[in-house]
Amino acid sequence: QVQLVESGGGLVQAGGSLGLSCTASGSISRITTMGWYRQAPGKQRELVATITNGGSPNYVDSVKGRFIISGDNAKNTVYLQMDSLKPDDTAVYFCYFRAGIFSLRDYWGQGTQVTVSS
């Protein structure tokens, strides 16, 4: 039973920083991609950032230059460093792992609330 546990959410003022982490426990096959999604009330869930097991990152345009994604495949952990936070960043953030050898499977964290006050 694979579980993804997130930590690091909270309340910060605009312009502040916050770091998120997510670690997968249990038996998980080879991880190909790790990432973060977010969803605000009344809005569609959107992809924030992903990183491949080779270390190639990808970001949604709205967070480029402010967020940095990193991962540690040996520890089954993905991180998201968020700087220069804006009120529009307020959302529930979900970590995401895609893993498998030839048949890929997606795993999701429970979500952690990030609130940025103005």
56-96: pLDDT as tens digits: 999 999 999 999 999 998 899 999 999 999 999 999 999 99
Query: Rounded CA gap, 34 and 54, in Å?
Result: 11
**What tens digit of pLDDT does each residue of 22-40 get?**
999 988 888 999 999 999 9
Backbone angles phi, psi at 73, to 5 degrees: -65, -35
pLDDT at 113: 98
pLDDT at 67: 98
The H or E element that residue 102 is part of is: none
Query: Rounded CA gap, 78 and 73, in Å?
Result: 8
Question: Is the pLDDT score of 51 beyond 90?
Answer: yes
How much is the average pLDDT of 108-118? 97
Query: Rounded CA gap, 3 and 79, in Å?
Result: 16
pLDDT at 27: 84
